Amino acid sequence: MTYKKGLKDGIPIALGYLSVSFAFGVTAVDMGIPALIALLTSMTNLTSAGQLAGITVIAVFGTFLEVILTQVVINARYFLMSLTLSQKLDGKFKFLDRVLCAFGITDEIFAVAVHNKEPISKRYIWGLITLPYFGWATGTIFGALMGNVLPAIIVNALSIALFAMFIAIIIPGAMENKKILPVILISATLSCILYFVPLFDFISQGISYIICAVIASCLGALIFPIKEDSQDEQ
Amino acid sequence: MSNNLYMILMVLTMAGVTYIIRVIPMAFFHKKIKSTFIKSLLYYVPYAVLTAMTFPSVFFVTGNVYSAIIGTCVAFLGAVSKRSLVIVAILSVLSVLLFDLTAFIF
């Protein structure tokens, strides 16, 4: 659980972020946001869906209340992630360490961090945050400045990187602990229903994640509880 | 208020809200949780969240459902054979690129 291991685990996230934030930079400038403000957004927010929703509000000169509500809805999932992660930290985290590293909780950083079986150390979490943070900022400014230099076919292909990574986290987990499989299937089914059934069109993507995650994990916890201190997690 | 000032304040508001959401559990919930239900719930949450984010969105991210299906299958195979995250990501991207290039040429 060293800084170096954190850095290494952060490489795939940083690579994925380069492409996603590149796309964000292109979109932001296209919406009339100056390149430096797009960069500021990435350096202070560090969240893909939230940032995209945010600049959409800014581009049409929306109100502060509007932007606050969108962020609460879309980023509420970080609350669950932060709660989960807070349980996995080793005993050496002081209050200041906790409140500082909270800034770096993203879907991907969380996923990789929580995937570790040992308690998470301070050095590891900072190592893990480092490259994705700079990848996110670098991709944004490149996207904002260079716009349409990269052909669409490459940008499109790069956009599957993060999802491939999610799959590479979900599948081995389900292979190691069969209890995870039903949770995954429930979540995927709910997610598809919310996505495809027109009746649920009013539900934003951020809210959809919350609904699926809460229902699927609650069912999992009720039907297949992980016993105290058992080896179920191994 | 100038446009730039407005934008900067909006961006900082977004950042503040997002940070508060992230920091509350970290700052206030650091005692170990004893409840089996809560522990099980927290154990399942990441898998459930990642699954919901991936499906069905993954099939539409490349702008071509067929190349996305190829990319998903490659990622799935890579994951089953326990390749590292970066290798799975690279293989998946390359397979999508290859498929889209082929489709583009022919």
Q: Are A71 and A53 in contact (CB under 8 A)?
A: yes
For residues A54 and B10, give the distance between their C-alpha atoms in angstroms, rounded to a whole number.
Answer: 8
Q: How confident is the model at residue A232 (pLDDT cuts 50, 70, 90)?
A: very low
| pLDDT at A228 (0 to 100) | 53
Question: At A32, phi and psi to the nearest 5?
Answer: 95, 15
B-chain CB neighbours of A85 within 8 Å are 25-26
- Find where tokens 């480092």 sit: A130
Q: What percent of chain A has pLDDT over 90?
A: 44
Predicted model pTM: 0.73
| pLDDT at A53 (0 to 100) | 77
How far A184 CA sits from the closest chain B CA (Å)?
6
| pLDDT at A84 (0 to 100) | 86
How far B34 CA sits from the closest chain A CA (Å)?
8
Cα-based distances in Å from A168 to A80, A164, A208, B57, B89? 21, 6, 22, 16, 8
| pLDDT at A189 (0 to 100) | 97
Partner residue opposite B89 with nearest CB, options A79, A164, A174 = A164
Secondary structure of residue A120 in the 3-state scheme: strand
- Conformational region of residue B84, where left means phi above 0, alpha means psi within -120 to 50, and beta covers everything else: beta
User: Where are chain B's structural domains?
Assistant: 7-54, 58-106
Partner residue opposite A105 with nearest CB, options B11, B22, B37 = B22
User: Where are chain A's structural domains?
Assistant: 3-161, 177-234
Instruction: Determine the average pLDDT of the residues in A114-132.
Output: 92
**CB-CB under 8 Å, A45 with B11:** yes
Instruction: Determine the average pLDDT of the residues in A197-222.
Output: 85
Residue-wise pLDDT for A45-100, tens only, equals 999 778 887 888 898 898 898 889 878 877 877 888 898 899 888 888 889 999 99
Residue-wise pLDDT for A28-49, tens only, equals 887 889 999 999 999 999 997 7
